[in-house]
């Protein structure tokens, strides 16, 4: 599903990306950057854009800057923790460094498109399912756990799950 960010959300994402890097530098902490094709500020901005896209899709509170850590949770949908993962590749994959880094109950993969303000919300997977279905690969910076975007559940099924939980008839 393609999500067009508002100008305000795109702008806020860029400011938050720059602010995050500035906060790290003020604390004499070098932010990790494994992609030499873009700056850390740009990488963070795209991460925030992905989070805004998912927040708007599910009509939940948008992302905020966390000074130390977000604890592996970017958003909350109802009472369920969500980790939004962004990739510069149009079709994934969803990558976690290790299983302990997958702390949320659900991960949602968002991919980059040719338009910097359009995000492709590719799909989702539960932590439990990822643990049993992921594979290992070295993408050039050590072994990581991953699932192909094509193996994720369509985002519409997650939306439906939450809407049925919220508005469905209780038997």
pTM: predicted TM-score of the whole model, two decimal places: 0.91
Please give the pLDDT value at position 22.
Answer: 84
Task: Kindly tell me if the per-residue pLDDT of 35 is higher than 80.
Answer: no
Residue 39 or residue 66, greater confidence: 39
Task: Kindly tell me if the per-residue pLDDT of 30 is higher than 70.
Answer: no
pLDDT digits (tens, 9 = 90+) for 47-66: 999 999 999 999 999 988 87
Give me the DSSP letters along 10-78: HHHHHHHHHHHHHHHHHTT-PPP---TTS-HHHHHHHHHHHHHHHHHHHT-PPP---SS--TT--EEET
């Amino acid at each position: 599903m393609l999500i067009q960010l508002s100008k305000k959300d795109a702008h806020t994402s860029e400011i938050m990306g720059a602010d995050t890097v500035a906060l790290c530098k003020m604390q004499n902490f070098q932010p990790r950057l494994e992609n030499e094709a873009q700056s850390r500020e740009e990488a963070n901005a795209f991460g925030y854009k992905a989070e805004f896209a998912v927040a708007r899709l599910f009509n939940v509170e948008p992302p905020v800057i966390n000074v130390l850590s977000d604890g592996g949770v970017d958003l909350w949908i109802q009472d369920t923790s969500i980790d939004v993962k962004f990739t510069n590749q149009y079709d994934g994959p969803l990558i976690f460094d290790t299983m302990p880094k997958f702390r949320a109950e659900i991960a949602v993969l968002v991919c980059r498109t040719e338009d910097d303000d359009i995000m492709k919300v590719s799909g989702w997977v539960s932590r439990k399912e990822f643990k049993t279905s992921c594979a290992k690969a070295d993408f050039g910076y050590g072994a990581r756990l991953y699932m192909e975007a094509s193996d994720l559940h369509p985002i519409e099924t997650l939306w439906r799950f939450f809407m049925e939980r919220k508005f469905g008839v209780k038997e």
